[in-house]
Amino acid sequence: MSPSSAAASFSQARAHAALARPASIAPAAPGFDIPLGADTVRVELTAPGTLHVQMRKAGHAATPTIVIDPALHASARPSADISQDAAGARLQSAQLEAVWDKEHGELRIGVPGQAPLLRQFALPSLGHGRLSLIHAKGEPMYGIGGFDATEAATAGLLRDGYRPVTAGEQGHAGAPFVWTTAGYGVLIDGVGGQIALGDTRIDARMFDGGLDYYVFVGGPHAIFGALAQVSGRSPLFPKWAMGFTNSQWGIDQKELLDIVEGYRERHIPLDNFTLDFDWKAWGEDNYGEFRWNEHKFPDGDSGKLKTLLDAQGVHLTGIMKPRIHVDTVEGREASEHGYWLAQSDPAPDYFSHQTVREIDFADPAARAWFFNKALKHSFETGMVGWWNDEADDVAVDLQHMDMQRALYDGQRAISDLRVWSLNRNFYLGAQRYAYGLWSGDILTGFESMAGQRQRMLSAINVGAMQWGMDGGGFKKGPPSPENYARWIQFGAFTPVFRVHGDFNQKRQPWVYGPVAEKAATDAIRLRQSLIPYIYSYEHQRRATGVGLVRPLMFDWPTDANLRNDVDAWLFGDSLLVSPVVDQGQTTKPVYLPAGEWIDWFSGRHYAGGQTIEHRADATHWSDIPLYIREGAIIPVAPVMDYVGQQPLTELTVELFPADHATGFDYYDDDGKTYGYEQGEYFLQSMQLEAHGDSVAFAIASPQGSYQPVLKSWLLKFHGKPAHAVRSNGRALEAFASADALRASADDGWAVGEDRFGPVTWVRVAAGKGQTVTLDVVK
């Protein structure tokens, strides 16, 4: 993007953010002013670990861009001590300190009582869109941007040198944000620019001539929590989006129903089918881009198809394009009202071969027009999610974000059903609009599959937590059966689990032969059994800014072995996964960080801080390197064909006690609506700890007004078996076996064994606070 177009985009971003800013006035944040002639730099604490440094030209603050959450300043005023004298000024809270040294013209930012983390000189340069920060030598840097669909991803997660700040092309995720495991992150309020990372410097240049920035102090979890607070929290996806998605290009109603029946006959879980061009009347007049193709889907427009699929537990989502046909009713309306994007010239569409042009989604009127009556009808008759494609071809960083804003705002205006979307690039702030990212039109094959690891983790490193890919690969023909099976196993441990292929390519498990079908089916079923665990991390992402998947250095920031590790990641707090991504591999090295680990499938225990050798199955592809972290709390449900197929009245919780306290927040709600925003949810915090000859498990009283059908917890304590069990100090009845306990409707306990070794089963009532204590065999 040229500086001039970037500046235009930046100005639009500020204007649109201003329109969205609430009218309420929050209390002023504690801070101090640094006078610079007619200008002022304002330094203030907006949260206990967040510092905002803002250039105010002639005393006036610039309007925040769309990167910043419009509701940010509604937060409560944090406490800090402020002191000023002739030598400068100091701001100090329990977590953060900022010192203005007037004599040396230096702003120092860090943690009280420690050496500064960052030092800024030449403060007037902020007024010219430039920022220079000095930091300690050799700190590992992350963020700024990921990788597009085709570029080499050999850099992994670490960032250095010159980096453009951009949403980029397909698959790319970008943000004006850089962070380090050394204890801080820097967020610049801007769209379009560049950041250069040196051994001791962060230099940024933005194109609009002004610059504000935020500093977040703390570890990775604290940094991303602050990032979510400043740039905005992400709404929850519907619960069905935690399951498996089959996408296909080249399909009609009959084939769709046959494929769904194929999943159901085989009891392979499926929650979502996503349709490409086929679903809409692409190229036809009278809003063909927004309505059902009645030739391929004769029962779409009437809603009958929706009824048929609802009975099968399958949700339909469909592709959307940023362009419309010029010589149509809708095209002439766009011309009349000036809705065309200036950077988009009329050109033949590759699919319809008719002239199309792209809509200017930065225009609020164009966004409102885009969610028109035809699209509303398509939504009401079953197209309940949006797959936004190709809005990254015009070098406008916010085009995809603004396109999804049109759909998010349009759907929320007419329905309380949650918005679901996938988009082909990402710029920070987009997460506020139920925004998922997929990695673009990737190749099939093992090399392409392996490269998705760094693409996913790099996207997460800039705040794009809801990430997915075209499982199996999109281009260059079908994957081999082995490649397909391994890709499904990989995808089962990503935030958005889906498959897709090029025109007329099929990605159903049974297409790839019985061996691949078995391996893929097992992985899909494992994913489905973990839905209660996965869905709880929907809540965690919204509440804390850290989602289901994260790089290992989030939790082990001082482990040098993890600085650029893309081979494994955490799937929630309790699971580490390291998928097989090499053809014919028989032995896979897996580095396990500090702690104790247990192989999910074999039950074998490993000490952390070492590389182990995983024995891979190169014949049947039946294995997934998956390890349980000590202290794990993992709710597991019976495998269903789709989310919500059967009421979940009892939920099994796998417990692996450690000699330190660990926790998990179990979360549930109706899975469909935004009632959770008004407190309609069920949240129970759990804590687990072993104390020598006893194990304590505490369940807090539930929060929220939602009442699930859940009646009881079936707790599985792994480790030393119990000889007595109490709930809230009351002895529970002992049963002769786990089967006897399951057959009873009463609370109680039993001992036995499973693949992990000795296990104690305990049933207690759900929905109330209690403490379960096990006296274990010494």
Q: CA 181, CA 74: separation in Å to the nearest integer? A: 29
Q: What is the DSSP letter of 706?
A: -
**Among 393, 342, 395, residue whose Cα is nearest residue 3:** 395
> For position 27, what pLDDT does the model report?
54
* pLDDT tens figures, 441-464: 999 999 999 999 999 999 999 999
3-state DSSP percent of the chain in helix, strand and coil, to 5: 25, 30, 45
* pLDDT tens figures, 13-61: 444 443 343 333 345 789 999 999 999 999 999 999 999 999 999 989 8
> For position 75, what pLDDT does the model report?
60
Q: With bands split at pLDDT 50, 70 and 90, how would you rate the model's confidence at 209? A: low
- Residues 6 or more apart in contact with residue 264 via CB below 8 angstroms: 270, 312, 641
Alpha-carbon distance values, 337 to 169, 283, 327, 360, 693 (Å): 28, 21, 15, 11, 75
Three-state DSSP class for 775?
strand
> For position 77, what pLDDT does the model report?
80
DSSP per residue, 366-396: HHHHHS-HHHHHHHHTTEEEEEE-STTSSS-
Average pLDDT over residues 284-289: 98
Name the β-bridge partners of 184: 180, 217
**HEC letters along 665-701:** EEEECCCCECHHHHCCCEEEEEEEEEECCEEEEEECC
- Residues 6 or more apart in contact with residue 336 via CB below 8 angstroms: none
Contacts 24+ apart (CB under 8 A), 194-197: 194/162, 194/163, 194/164, 194/165, 195/144, 195/162, 195/163, 195/165, 196/161, 196/162, 196/163, 197/141, 197/144, 197/159, 197/160, 197/161, 197/163
Q: CA 417, CA 601: separation in Å to the nearest integer? A: 38
Three-state DSSP class for 477?
coil
pTM of the model: 0.95
- Residues 6 or more apart in contact with residue 692 via CB below 8 angstroms: none
**Among 16, 35, 17, 43, residue whose Cα is nearest residue 98:** 43
Q: Is the pLDDT of residue 243 over 80?
A: yes
Q: Would you say the C-alpha torsion 712, 718, 723, 725 has a positive or negative sign?
A: negative
* pLDDT tens figures, 468-506: 999 999 999 999 999 999 999 999 999 999 999 999 999
* pLDDT tens figures, 385-416: 999 999 999 999 999 999 999 999 999 999 99
**Among 185, 240, 252, residue whose Cα is nearest residue 217:** 185
Tell me the catalytic residues.
389, 392, 441
Q: Is the pLDDT of residue 307 over 50?
A: yes
Q: CA 455, CA 433: separation in Å to the nearest integer? A: 22
* pLDDT tens figures, 157-175: 999 999 999 999 999 999 9
Q: CA 192, CA 204: separation in Å to the nearest integer? A: 11
* pLDDT tens figures, 536-548: 999 999 999 999 9
